[in-house]
Structure 1
Amino acid sequence: MDYRVIILIFAGALLSVSSAQTRQFYFVNTPLNWRDAQSVCRQNYTDLATIENTADVDAAIVALSNYSGKAWIGLHDDIVNGWRWSLSDSSFYGDGESTYRNWYPGEPNNMYGQQLCVVFNGNNGFWDDLDCSVALSFVCYNGELPFGFY
């Protein structure tokens, strides 16, 4: 077999591992409103969690480990443009992040016209819209590549 083919296959495998490892989720069990949670995540990590696909849902559930309640993630309704992620750098996002949604059936419902932020359910990973002023735990993520994946 041609060694160039083997190297190409190996390089492709490394690339897929590194792209799968680009985010690490962190559960912060300190109840804060959405804006304050966003601030803490931006100071200590990258931002509130952005969830692109079912693998991210599974990773966030693992980060919440034994917590089965609701926790803030970075999705919010800015009223002008609809549902958007907290991190405003569009060059950061992958293919599915602008369109992937994991709403609980019947959500979002914007009950009383006040539900502009999104919570992640630690039991099943489904999302629900909620009033941003509610104090909840939250999920942050670090968008930097882990050591060894450069």
Structure 2
Amino acid sequence: MSDDDTPKTPFSGTASTDDAVAAVKAVSSQIFDFAGVPAKASKAGPGVSACGDKDPKKYFQVYHPWNFEPNSGADTAVAMKHLKEKLNTGGWVLKDEYYDNSPNKNLNLVADNDAKKMSVSIVEYGKRGTPSIGINVISGCYQVPDGQKIEHS
């Protein structure tokens, strides 16, 4: 949902930063479950950023980049297969699937969930020494409730 990919970032409604972060964490957990293989996730938590050219004191986005590392390197491809299938269910729509220009020609998936006003981009790093999957969940634009401030993490 970056400005490069879509003409306008969707409005996600009014929410405190804590509530918006919780919503993004819930989507990240859903993506973890979609992968369907035993794995560990990196500990990095969500961050908060400005939302395009909107007033940075009133509007914000939440992003959550994290790494999914299957217990078995061979499960990386299995997880990507599951993700590809699941990101066309439950409100998710797989918008793009391509191999990047890196020497490893990594598989990339991009999906949106219009109801949740969330996007996810996924990159398979299957040819690394420790195979993993890079995942970034990003929200639409939230407006902070009147009288509250945006809490940057």
* TM-score for both structures, normalised by structure 2: 0.26
Which structure has more helix as a fraction of its residues? 1
Greater Rg over alpha carbons, structure: 1
